[in-house]
Structure 1
Amino acid sequence: MIGIGGMLASSVVNRVASKLGDLAVEDATLLWRFKDDVDDMKEKMIDLEAVMQDADNKVRQGGKDGTATRRWLAKLKSVAYDIEDVLDELDAAHLIKNHQSKLKLFFSQNNQFLWKMTVAHNMKNLREKIDKIEKESQKLNLVRHEPWVSRYNETFAAINSEGMDIGMIGRDAEKEKIISLLLDTEAKEHISIIPIVGLGGLGKTTLAQAVFADKRIDIFDVRLWVYVSKDFDLLKIGQSIVKRVNQNINLDKSDLQFVQDKLKEELANRRYLIILDDLWEEYGETLENLKKMLQHGSKGSKIIVTTRNICVVQILCTGYIANERKICPVHESDYINLGVLSLDDCWRVMKRRIFGPDDDQSGLEEIGREIAERCGGLPLVANALGQVMSEHRNIEAWKDIREKKIILDFKAEHQQDTLERLMLSYYYMKLEFKRCFTYLAAFSKGFVMDSDRFIQQWSALGYIQSRHNGQRWRRLQHLPTLEMFQVNGYSGFQTLPDVIQCFVSLRELYLRSWEDLETFPEWLGQLVSLEDITMINCPKLKSLPKSLQNFTALRKLWLEGCEVLEILPEGMGHLISMKKLVIRDCPKLTLLPESMENLTALIELKLLRCNGLEPLPEGLGLLISLEKLSIVDCPKLKSLPKSIQSLTSLRKLQLEGCERLEVSPELLHLTSLKCIEIQGFPILTYLPESTKNLTTLEELWLGGFNNLPEWIGQFICLKEINIFDSPNMTSLPESIRNLTSLKELYIWNCPRLIDRCRGEDANNISHISRIILDNEIFIPGQATKGSKNPAEYNISVVFSCNPTIQALVAPITKP
């Protein structure tokens, strides 16, 4: 990216000027006018830093002056690095001096007197080089940069990615056309591809986001967003889709075949909507493989593709999959070819960025519309210029923006026009943000970034200076659109900083140990792309915003350690895409909203250590997709709703530590259960009759029981039994012999039962291939016992040096 070298030179010059200003010069260092050299060099570096803005602009304008200025910047950067090396040597020498005696120093290689002579001489030579570079800057006619006086203490301007504003302007017709195509159930294609085609900056991604957030498309069983980018990677695309469809699938070390198999399983008989954002790939075979991977959805599934290249769409129309009409783009007349915005729409976009609802716009409308003409109809440019103009809101500054001409050396006409307009935003960017901006050129679009880590890197490089938290948050508004925002261990704010509302493409919000967080602002509901919200150890959080109901794309909500959270908003029922809800260690929470019955996509619900939770919503049985239900350590909970018998998809039920809970007879209707865990019920010491009909059970976990009934022999599908903390259980039922599918039996902390299994009941369990008794492997009929964990075996091996290797293995016994 042009200008990175200039920004690096600027950063080094700035850092060196700062170090020279902080340098403490002692009397002993005053050799060869060392102090005078340092003071003189400091002034010259400050003067050179002031002309860096003009030097950067000349480089970008190109021509002979640009080439000469580029060489000048390279010389300046080289000398600045040399000066910094000398200053680092001074710091190192100071440390050595403070830790060694004077006599030892004199006779060592760190002789300070000789060293000072060398450093002073080097500094003198460097000062002469700086003098020469300063004279060259005068020949180049580089002038000091005087920033405009802004209505703020600092000038902020940046190029924001598409979608940084809430809502769209000028694309309503295109949006309605896409919605119509998505709702069309009479398409000839089994799965249709809807292409959005246009140059960069026209708002393709913004349009797709607006469609994705529209409630009318809730008809799809699965809705996914995949950012593709220039670096097309079929495996990563597949993994991304699998992860979003089913987070329980382990993708570690997965290959393409595994991912394709999982996609076939997960997408089969499901009507999906997948958005492939920023697709560049043109190779026909690669795109054919992409279509093969996505061909398993139900009829009526749709794929929205955003691309800058119409050739991509044309290639998608070819190949076997397309000719069989399994996956094929819609008719050419239905392509969404984005054009530029009208002048009026551009000005509306800019005004939204520049003015508040009550700001005075008088005297600025005419010149503002003239600047809007320079946007070329590009929303991206309109947003960028609007940001610049909001920070320089006066006629004089706006006239300069209107008249500024920036020349770029690009061959493609549309590239030159676009970048020339965007350069206006860069021209007025504060110097330290130019450095940060050019640093980001090393990262691809769509890169997920940890803001604190970037800020630390910028500080380490000398691009920015450490300031108070408010300034740190404010810098974030000048970064490209974020997809993940994470805060670990923070204090000082009682609510989220307003800057976060800029991140309208945010998908993951992760807050951990935010000590002072009490409430969320209502504008949080504007972040409609959020898919994952996690809040852990926010001890002062009192409530969630009512606008939570806007998160129709939210898939996971995790609330943990929110000690004073008392109520959840009724609007939670609008979270129709929610797959996983975890509420843990929220002792003040007493009720769950009745509207939860609308979470029909919910697959997993965990209620853990919610000491104040009493009744559960009666509509719990309407969660038709629920597969896993865990209720642990909720001591005030007395009963489960009768509607629980309607959870026909429930596969795993965990009930633990709920002292007052009565296990209701409705459990006998949960015939789809594969795993049940019951423990920590003082009043429940036997397996309830209501579980008698659960003949499809494969895993059984029981704790605190006195016995097992004979009818357990009816559980013919049972593969694993776990019995623990049951000191009063004395034997297993005779019918356990009938459990021919039983492969594993684990018993812990049940001394009387374990003795019986090793003796009288040994024959009854001899058909079970794996038996663990108090962490020891037990094989009926054999005296051999061993640890369950092979690592606990006491094995020693001794190898001799003879050609014939000998080994001595100690007896395998538990240590």
Structure 2
Amino acid sequence: MKFLQKPGVLSCLPVAHKKIVVANRMKSMREELRKISKDFRDFKFSEGRTCTSLEQHDDDRETSSRLPEEPIIGRNREKQEIINLLSAGTNNDETVIVSIHGLGGMGKSTLAQLIYNDAQFKKYDHRIWVYVSRDFSLKKIGSSIISLIPIEGGQQNRDTLEAINQCLDNLLRGKKVLIVLDDLWEEKDNELGKLRSMLQVGKKGTTIDVIVTTRKEDIARKVSTCTPYKLQPLNDNTCWEIIKRYSRFEDQHYQERLEKIGLDIAKKCGESGWWSPQRCLPFVVASMCIGRAPLPCSATHHGETSGDHMERYTMHDLVHDLATLIMGDELIVSNVASKNNKTNSQKYCRYASVTKYDNTTKLSNVLPSKVRALHFSDSSKLDLSCGAFSFAKCLRILDFSGCSGILLPASIGKLKQLKYLTASQMQNDVLPEFMTELSKLQYLNLNGSSHISALPESMGKLWCLKYLGLSGCSGISKLPGSFGDLKCMMHLDMSGCSGIRELPDSLGNLTNLHHLDLSECSGVKEIPESLCGLTHLQYLNLSFCRYIGRLAEAIGSLHLDLSMNRFEYLPESIGNLKRLHTLNLMNCWFLKSLPESIGCATGLKLFHHFRALQKLHFFGCQNLESLPEGIQQLSSLQTLRLAKCHSISTLPEWLSDISSLKSLVIEGFDSIKSLPACIQHLTNLEELVIEGNQELQQWCKSEENKAKLAHINIVSSRPSHLFF
């Protein structure tokens, strides 16, 4: 009460409140000014100049008059139309300026190159190509023109615009000249007016033809002396011809399927309004390679490559500009060793890569608090403090794949938004219990973490987990009882988990599982019957599981890998795999035969059930003496590969019954001396590959046998692509 009675104490509160509001407003204004200043620096704006007169930083975009080595596809009609526009204005002695406008990357410069190199203009006295760029300067343009004209009597004065204009009048008078001004960005009327005046020599007997390329229609209209020429997109057929050339379509297999994909892409390219094959071909090639065995070298930066060279492509102008604009202040690469990182200036960063982390610098000192994706690269073994990630509450992606080892700190358990975690070669003895608190985690990669001896019993709390990589985690001896609660799991890689002796029945509860890799789980002796409930399973790898003697009834896998096993006979239950797509028996050295029937009572042929099987691969089955007759019932079989099956000496005549067969491969053994006469009845056979059997290769080359193989597109001594 005494406090309330004191005069002036409460009366000052409104004033203090106003001061706080003003202070907060000033703080916000300073933040806005910092952002504007940062954008000014990032976009390299120049003081006292307009946005159209930026300094030129895109030197890699500079063009010249030289045409590409390969002929240009399309644009012949457009070329002739522009030549006609130039010719229409040559009756008088005034300069003709034809401007070409259109979106970036459509081929304006290429069209100008075609005209520049046309035979008609090679007869002119001078042909001049000037790359204008964003850095517009009349002196620069005038000096460039003068420098490309042979001058008698020494160097001309180019210090002033007046001197440049007089020099141009003297040099161009009475001449026939073609000038190309490529990539014009200037928008000011007075500057464009001066440019037109500079080019107007206007003397009798003088012909000045000028081609200007620009992205903006307004600029084209201001500078042109006739109607501006708007460059239209290429038609679908021309786009397809370009795709065929750059994707090496003629050298590819399955051309019928690829042509459909390519035509769809060509149509979309035409509809999009822009098309530049050298710039957007990576996306085209990648799309056409979906579902195929290894990518051609023209798509090397999209995946595995064949060949020993790489082709470089440039990102399309629009894509590049958009990516730069969006990601400009959101991505940083922080080299901790440099000690020059400024967290305050990286306030808006959301994606970061930390290199050469030294375990001593606080991550909160080099990274902003709202970072969402973090990748460690080129770092040694990390032993982070318990609270290392306490500041990064927004983190969604955490990738330690660039580290030689990692001890996961407890603060990772506080990253409630984390969805992706790669911690390969983790050094923890057990997967920490706090990991199960990451309720939004969808991807967990622990491959190569041989130190792990156990997974937490509460593993089933990771409700959202879809991918789990445990490859090479040889220290794990069993899966926790709650493992079956991971109902969203789609991909489980347990290859190399040699310590596991038994698979739990709860594995059958993973009803969304598509991919299950148990290869090199050498301790596993039995596949639980519960796996039959995995109706979505598409891939099952049991290679190197030498002690498995039988398969569970009715496993629904589409791809079954039984390679490197000790089977002498395949179990009868394999006949229940009615959805089987690919069967791999590579290096089953002890395999003597395949079962012909499921049971004597029914008399059903084993392969009668495999109507979906498309690929059958026998590799290293050295004791297999003949192919079972049931193979002829594989109505969908397209690829049959026999490799190092030394006991097979002949191919059966009933091979002709496999009318769907497209590829036959015989490699690594020479016991087969000839092909059966039925080979000429395999009318769908597109490829015959023979390797390591010279006698059979010579048999194929004889004139008598060439007729039998005439219907086959490819007869090769080496395999042209991979099958598995």
Range class of TM-score, shorter chain = 0.3 to 0.5
Instruction: Provide the TM-score with structure 2 as the length reference.
Output: 0.44
Structure with greater proportional helix content: 1
Q: Which has the higher contact order (CA 8 A, sep 6+)?
A: 1
